[in-house]
Every structure is written in structure tokens, then in C-alpha cells.
Structure 1
């Protein structure tokens, strides 16, 4: 493990009050555990309606995962850098699906939240996402806790879906309905928006797997530091493990940073490089490579390399 430097305090778990909030459909719905329920319907042998107490009685799991906003679906190539690392507590979706018994023709899982509103010229929408049944069964968790406390209202209280290897748009908040179906749903948030063509491809794909990405957290962008040897540090993440991070200062070469291995959970990985900063202004960049061989692009896409500017000052 990389030891924490006093200049760069360890923020491995993002405090709940610092986790970003993104809503498409206006104010969050007012739900509580006494009246909330989750329906499981469609191509299942045994349609279900679970209340919160029944959900709590199922097998529980706890894991840490990167939670990243894909960005504005109307501007899908613009970087947002909205990312956090959160410990989730909840019930594996597979446990609930086992109770319902998916029928052989079921191929997709639809996840629907209780929020309603207007977006992109359409009125009366619900927030609806879909995933292939096999992927949803393997990794989605119905979470009711963040960092050891109940979900807060703006983070999906009382229950949300969490798809830990995917962008946050797939982790539906205020979850109240699960539908198993043979086909994908035609909906603004499934087939019209949150789609893209990946580099080197021509097929339009739904936004799911996270890109390889990294972010510098120290020094602070726009700040000042004493000239001399300083720690340049941050976090890197991907849908799989990040295998390398490089840092470049000004027009210098890309230098390999020290990188933590990823543990058993899909969390972010800390990197650091100690580097001499001469007095004056500096541009610092970082780029990551993942186990699939993907490299952050220098420019032009939502996961383009992160860049900060700092000024090194002479002591005294």
C-alpha cells in the first residue's frame, strides 16, 4: 500500500456530504421505509412485491466501488471529472431474481426509479435504465447504505441500484420497479440518450462500462506550493484494473508513477510521483492505462487526460 503523505491526506472513501448529486427529473421523490416497496414483474415465474423489511431480511453484501457520472448525455464527449469512491451496503440483485424465477425468454432487466419529470423535450418521464440479464444478475446490488449509514434522500433513499463497474447513470436511484423482458425498452434514457460509438468502432452502444481515467488531487488546481520536491498524487480507475499511471510536468516526458494495486473491490487506485518543481508556474497532467490496454486520450473525449496548473514559490 502507498503510505499517505501529510501534504495529501487520504480520501480513499469519499465522505457522503462530498458525493456529487445528479438528477434529470427535478426534485427527488419523498419516500420512506414504511411505505416503500419494490415490484419484480414481467417475464418471471413468481411476480414479487417486497417491502423494506423483506429486503433487509435477504443476504447482505458490502463493497467499495468507484461511482462516476458519465456527464451530460447531450454533450457526451465533454469531461466532467465527477467521481467518488463509496462503500455500499445492500442485497445482490441475484437474490431477488432467484425469488422471482426469471423465465427462459428473459434477456434484459429494466430498472425504474420513482422520480418523474421532463427532459430533452419529453414530458412525464420516469428514470428507466436496462441491462443484460446476465450482467445484472452478476453484479448489480440493491443498495440501502452508503459509507455505513442509510442512503440519504438525494442519493436514492431508501433503495437504489448500484452497478459497480458501470457509469452512475446505470445505478438507478429511488428504485421501485424491476421488469424482466425479452427486449430492451425504447426510452429517452436507454436508446435515445446515453449512447455512444467507441473509438475504432461504428456500432452505437449504450453507455455502460467505465472508461479508463485518472484525476490529480494534489497539489490543488490553481494553488501554490513551496518549490522543491513535491508529491503529485491522485486516483485512477476503470471498469477493470488500472495497470499504469504516468505523470508529465510542463513539456517533460511522461514519468511512471507509483500505483496501488486494486483489491477485490472495483474501487479507485491511488498513484503518486515525487517530482522537483522549480520556482514558477507549472502544468501537470496524468494518464492511466487499464488491463484491457485502453489509454486515456490526450484530448477530445470525456476521459481526456486531467490537467492542473500550480505555481511553485521560493520559501521565504
Structure 2
């Protein structure tokens, strides 16, 4: 998922070869761009069937965004920390919907992939997600390119949805069908899984916007470093801008780290702190806060603070640069 080489702590874009792969259904669809098509139907004035040249002929956009797996929907509180930062190119969903002409009663967008199979005791499923129409129109991109190259088969070739402010479960791969509807679909992956009760809430809501999170990358977990000044660095991300990151070593107080601002795209933000490590073993933790006031919990949730353990001592390899 990450490179943890202390000489390359600033790896901002995740190489495609290191991007995680998560699939619910199988076997994976092997689609031919020459015969693939995308249908747009339901509550629209003009139902569509678009082939790949049609997609290429629409207005194109590019963005850099964090792509994060929510985790196993059967264990929603367990941290997975599967996260990458990627460059996407494709067509704004809004351009496709403008061609179709949503009817006034349309409130939801259903996104369906070409993958089918069995999951959690249910058979004959397709992968289906839904989003509010207004939000999907404003945010979702139909991507055909990742990091400057066509999508690979495992990542949704030839076209996938990318919901850049949301968990990856909403970024449907192998996109084959878009439906506009007045209501949400009752489906395993929409109303029965990928839901959770938010802090202070009583009712389950769909898993959509990313939590505030952070991860230490330098030094690597379990590594040996020289005693003395050590560069501690990593990345933080959220559905909104991260405003601060703190680092704690062992039982010492939390210290503010230097944090890069987030640019116009919803990419992750690098943080770093130089710290004097005494000889011996150490536990190092990081904690992020975002502009919505959300703070990573210390324990007990999927975005609980990340920690690494290192040993500081004479004769260890260099500990990287801040």
C-alpha cells in the first residue's frame, strides 16, 4: 500500500502497482472496451446507451484524491488503513446526467457494476451503490484513467465511478448501469451492509464521507533507528481539510506536527515532526483533527489513532528526513 523507504517519505502519488485491490463478488469481469457500454435509465427524459468513444467525447476532468477502503462491512469498527492517493481522469457524472435529463422526481443515483456473484449468504448479486442525486452530480467522476494510464482490469476497466470525498465502497468499478430513482434501492450493499451508527446517533446511516485519519510512514513500523534526532512523517486525510496533526511518543504529551495545507483537490496532507528519541524501544502515535472538528479516537473505531513501534540505538540505519 505504501512505500516506507525513509529516503522517500514524500511519495505523494501512490504507484498503481501498490494500490490495494478489494472486491466483493467474483470472478472479476473481463470487459472489452470495444463492446462495453454504459446505460443511463430510470427517471430520465432521454435514456442513454454510451460506448467508450461517447465517453471520450464528453467534457473531461482531472483530480487527485485519497482513495480509502472502509474495511470489511461485516466488521465495520476494525481498522484496515488501506488508503492511497491517486490521480484520476474522466468525465464528470454531471455531464452524463445532463445528456439524460433527470426528471423532477429523481432523488437518487444508483451505480451498478458488471461484477456479479455471492456475498454474506446472498446469491446472484450485482455490486450496487446509491448516492443522493445532488451530491453525486456535484462530486462524482466517471474515471477511465488512473495515474495517467488506462484503468487496469482489477481497478475497474474500462470505466469506474470515483466519489472522491467518500469511502471506496461508493466508487463502483466496472460501471455498466446508472439508474435515477425516487428512492434508495433495498440491496445488500446499500441498506443492509455498509451502514453504521455515527457517534451520538441512534440510527444507522450509509457509509459515505471519509473519517478523519492519519498514518505514520517514516520510520517504518518495527524498524531500528539511531538514537537522537529522528524524522517522524506521514499523511493525514478526511472528507474535508485536516487542520492539525499531533504526535505522541510513549507517554509524553501530544506535540503539534507541521502539516501541509490541502490544495483544491481532496488529496492527503503530509505531516512531519523531528523528535529526539532516547535509546531503547518506543511507541509513536499520530492523531488528526479536521475542519469539521472531528478528532481521531484513541481506540475502539476503524479510524483509531495509528501507532508504530521502533527501537532507537547506536549503529542503526538513518531515520529519514523531515
TM-score range relative to shorter protein: over 0.9
Q: Which residue of 2 aligns with 1:99?
A: 99
Contact 1:109 1:179 survives alignment (8 Å): yes
Give the paired residue count: 312
How do residues 125-274 of structure 1 correspond to structure 2 at under 5 angstroms? Answer: 125-274=125-274
Residue 201 (structure 1) shift: 1.0
Q: Which residue of 2 aligns with 1:35?
A: 35
Seen in structure 2, the aligned counterparts of structure 1 residues 96 and 6 have a Cα distance that, compared at 3 Å, is: same
Residue 300 (structure 1) shift: 0.2
Q: Which residue of 2 aligns with 1:83?
A: 83
1:216 is paired with a residue whose SS is strand
Q: Which residue of 1 aligns with 2:319?
A: none
Contact 2:231 2:272 survives alignment (8 Å): yes
Q: 1 CA distance for matches of 2:245 and 2:9?
A: 20
Which runs of no fewer than 5 residues in structure 2 stay unpaired?
A: 317-322
Q: 1 CA distance for matches of 2:44 and 2:56?
A: 22
Cα RMSD for the two superposed structures? 1.0
Q: Which residue of 1 aligns with 2:13?
A: 13
Q: What TM-score, normalized to structure 2? A: 0.96
Contact 2:229 2:275 survives alignment (8 Å): yes
Q: 2 CA distance for matches of 1:6 and 1:105?
A: 54
Contact 1:235 1:271 survives alignment (8 Å): yes
Residue 6 (structure 1) shift: 6.5
Q: Report Cα offsets for 1:261-302 as digits up to 9, x if no partner.
A: 000000000000000111110000000000000000000000
Q: 2 CA distance for matches of 1:306 and 1:6?
A: 18
Q: 2 CA distance for matches of 1:283 and 1:231?
A: 14
Residue 27 (structure 1) shift: 2.7
Which deviates more, 23-32 or 46-55? 23-32
Q: Which residue of 2 aligns with 1:52?
A: 52
Q: Which residue of 2 aligns with 1:313?
A: 313
Q: What TM-score, normalized to structure 1? A: 0.97
Contact 1:8 1:233 survives alignment (8 Å): no
